[in-house]
Structure 1
Amino acid sequence: MSTTTAGKPQTDHRPLDRSARVYVAGAHGMVGSAIWRHLVQEGFTDLIGPSSAALDLRDRGAVFDWFAATRPQVVILSAARVGGIKANASRPAEFLSDNLRIQVNVLDAARRQGITRLLFLGSSCIYPKHATQPIREDALLTGPLEPTNDAYAIAKIAGILQVQAVRRQDALPWISAMPTNLYGPGDNFHPENSHVLPSLIRRFHQAREAGEALVRNWGTGTPRREFLHVDDLARACLLLLERYDGDMPVNVGTGTDLTIQEAAALVAEVVDYAGAVAWDTNELDGTPRKLLDISRIQDLGWAPQIKLKEGISQTYAWYLEHLAAGTVRI
């Protein structure tokens, strides 16, 4: 097991058996599908990940029965109810209840089966609204949360604490990772429920196609955000499973951020929209800044590879392809 010296995790190579049965919870979502692709590329041959229609993770009995029948050896818990600022602010009860049930059911079932290798994925929204920047992992539970997504954050914090509790009680080497704002192929482009980058891609694309002279974006555009391509997160997940074993959740980000206005300008450039941009200050801004300190995962040998403009271009190409096929989530 790895330990921590002067705040830095010690590299501990524990390669996963490529023939082990790996359960990717949420395999049909943006994050889970990226993890699945990466595991296939890395030679894993026994991946399982039923859709939510086939296995409702909120159904405790069904989850326990499924674990007993399939007996996975590794679990990556990327399944979650997710959404942008408006979805989180308008439906906090659903975000809290659904995510708590998903997490508790999967983690309890994995514990019942004695699964030793498990990675729980949280979110950077777990940290206090006014945390010192860049945000270190030990900032958790040191201040009030951002009110627009506190329900989702509380659920994710509960997942972290459950992983830590299992480590203490059962000595199972379960771990947690906290990714920053994610984007990439397979994202949700819904006009109200999506996150900021897919929302901007959809809005600028539709404005260009309609010949609109103005795009109106939400908020002031002044909050700063850090964006990580989901394929970079997928690489981080496997690295953590093979090299990290500690109580502390590990941040996964890029170590750089930009304003929402700057992100919008970048999207407009990629989409080739040349019109004007205005900002609707009646809409919520959310946390003013949440840049992650990624030194812990960097010490394990990981660094992001996909630059933001390149990643937005890839995501826009995916959007156009699937928009034409009628398979974009909107």
Structure 2
Amino acid sequence: MSSLGDLSVSRDLDAPIYVAGHRGLVGGAVWRHLGEKGFTNLIGRSSSELDLRDRDSVFDFFAEARPRHVVLAAAKVGGILANSTYPVEFLSDNIRIQTNVIDAALKFDVDRLLFLGSSCIYPKFADQPITEDSLLTGTLEPTNDAYAIAKITGILHIQAARREYGKSWISAMPTNLYGPGDNFSPTGSHLLPAMLRRYDEAVASGATSVTNWGTGTPRRELLHVDDMAAACLHLLDHFDGPTQVNVGTGRDHTIAEIAEMVATATGYTGTTEWDTTRPDGTPRKLLDVTTLRGSGWEPTIDLADGIADTLTWYRSHTPALRN
């Protein structure tokens, strides 16, 4: 996995790069990282400006913008509750978004495209740590299987484009992400932002007890979104293969341990209760990151530091966040 030469995105800082989902958690971090690295021709459209579910609009946009490279970070995302409640929307919206973008990228001959998925693509009981070849070897976690199927479809779409059209396009599957710009909604957020909001509100209200879903025993790997953004550019510069690449830290913690870290960061001193009538989700999701490390990339942000950083962002943006 040496440098890709002329295919290396960093060789041309003036190349037009479309970041789909540039106002989301991952896309926003990618946008910031590319700007910090000197890229001068970044292209972004908000969902109000361009509905990626609308095929004609997507093709019209590509015809006008003519991006040379694409980072496909746009997606409908949410936590266990949202995924369980709205599986049709998570399946339909995500398949339409990624199909329209990938097909338009084919029509307008995009050089490099990075499709971003999720570690939920892997079987619920996959051997740990999860290797890339675990894909499609077992049953998915039922609480987010619709979203996972959509993302698996995207991976296969990228692989098909490589086989049929010889495209040097790639897929990356991040572990659980967190950081500035996350969704802190009580009904739509993932593990860490949900906890940060819950414990911070408990501190503000003087509550002496906080209740989390499940047993606290499942293990989760967490990656700061700024590390993810750095990994994206690294892969665009150094990786060209059909297999999706796992992106993570290679380390995990129990949800109870993560809750303790969040409590410490927020200054919460009360008790933590666990509602065991609520689902735990997948028992463990630790990614094998051998492929990524073999390409020369390692994360740099410690979990405790990342939690503190995210808390600072949350507190400074609380009035404007989604309810």
- Asked if Structure 1 and Structure 2 have the same fold, meaning a TM-score greater than 0.5 normalized by the shorter chain, the answer is yes
**What amino acid maps onto 1:222 in structure 2?**
T
**What amino acid maps onto 1:15 in structure 2?**
S
Paired residues of 1:215 and 1:277 also in contact (CA < 8 A): yes
**What amino acid maps onto 1:28 in structure 2?**
R
The CA distance in 2 between the partners of 1:23 and 1:238, in whole Å, is: 13
Deviations 1:247-272 (A, max 9, x none): 00000000000000000000000000
The CA distance in 2 between the partners of 1:130 and 1:249, in whole Å, is: 19
1:15, distance to aligned residue in structure 2 (A): 2.8
Aligned partner of 1:328 in structure 2 is 321
Question: Secondary structure in 2 aligned to 1:118?
Answer: strand
The CA distance in 1 between the partners of 2:214 and 2:188, in whole Å, is: 15
1:152 and 2:155 aligned: no
Deviations 1:237-296 (A, max 9, x none): 001001100000000000000000000000000000000010011111110001000010
Q: How many residues align?
A: 320
1:10, distance to aligned residue in structure 2 (A): 5.0
Deviations 1:41-65 (A, max 9, x none): 1100000111000000000000000
Aligned partner of 1:233 in structure 2 is 228
The CA distance in 1 between the partners of 2:189 and 2:237, in whole Å, is: 32
Question: Secondary structure in 1 aligned to 2:53?
Answer: coil
The CA distance in 2 between the partners of 1:58 and 1:49, in whole Å, is: 16
**What amino acid maps onto 1:151 in structure 2?**
A
Aligned partner of 1:57 in structure 2 is 52
Aligned partner of 2:254 in structure 1 is 259
1:21 and 2:46 aligned: no
What does 1:105-120 correspond to in 2, within 5 Å? Answer: 105-120=100-115
Question: Secondary structure in 1 aligned to 2:114?
Answer: strand
1:173, distance to aligned residue in structure 2 (A): 0.5
Aligned partner of 2:39 in structure 1 is 44
1:301, distance to aligned residue in structure 2 (A): 0.8
Paired residues of 2:228 and 2:247 also in contact (CA < 8 A): yes
Aligned partner of 2:26 in structure 1 is 31
The CA distance in 2 between the partners of 1:268 and 1:12, in whole Å, is: 44
Paired residues of 1:11 and 1:300 also in contact (CA < 8 A): no
Aligned partner of 2:130 in structure 1 is 135
1:11, distance to aligned residue in structure 2 (A): 5.2
Paired residues of 2:124 and 2:140 also in contact (CA < 8 A): yes
1:125 and 2:120 aligned: yes
Root-mean-square deviation (CA, aligned residues, Å) is 0.8
**What amino acid maps onto 1:146 in structure 2?**
E
Aligned partner of 1:87 in structure 2 is 82
The counterpart of 1:293, out of the listed 280, 288, 294, is 288
Question: Secondary structure in 2 aligned to 1:310?
Answer: helix
The counterpart of 2:212, out of the listed 217, 225, 236, is 217
1:208 and 2:203 aligned: yes
Question: Secondary structure in 1 aligned to 2:274?
Answer: strand
Paired residues of 2:215 and 2:274 also in contact (CA < 8 A): yes
Structure 2: state its 5+ residue gaps: none
The CA distance in 2 between the partners of 1:295 and 1:196, in whole Å, is: 25
The CA distance in 1 between the partners of 2:143 and 2:211, in whole Å, is: 21
Aligned partner of 1:182 in structure 2 is 177
Aligned partner of 1:319 in structure 2 is 314
The CA distance in 1 between the partners of 2:73 and 2:4, in whole Å, is: 23
**What amino acid maps onto 1:328 in structure 2?**
L
Aligned partner of 1:304 in structure 2 is 299
Q: TM-score, normalised by structure 1?
A: 0.96
Paired residues of 1:187 and 1:329 also in contact (CA < 8 A): no
**What amino acid maps onto 1:25 in structure 2?**
A
1:327, distance to aligned residue in structure 2 (A): 1.8
The CA distance in 2 between the partners of 1:82 and 1:222, in whole Å, is: 24
Moved over 2 A (4+): 9-15
Question: Secondary structure in 2 aligned to 1:54?
Answer: coil
1:144, distance to aligned residue in structure 2 (A): 0.6
Q: What is the percent sequence identity of the aligned residues?
A: 60
Question: Secondary structure in 1 aligned to 2:242?
Answer: coil
The CA distance in 1 between the partners of 2:42 and 2:4, in whole Å, is: 24
The CA distance in 2 between the partners of 1:142 and 1:10, in whole Å, is: 30
Deviations 1:91-141 (A, max 9, x none): 111000000000000000000001121000000000000000000000000
1:329, distance to aligned residue in structure 2 (A): 2.8
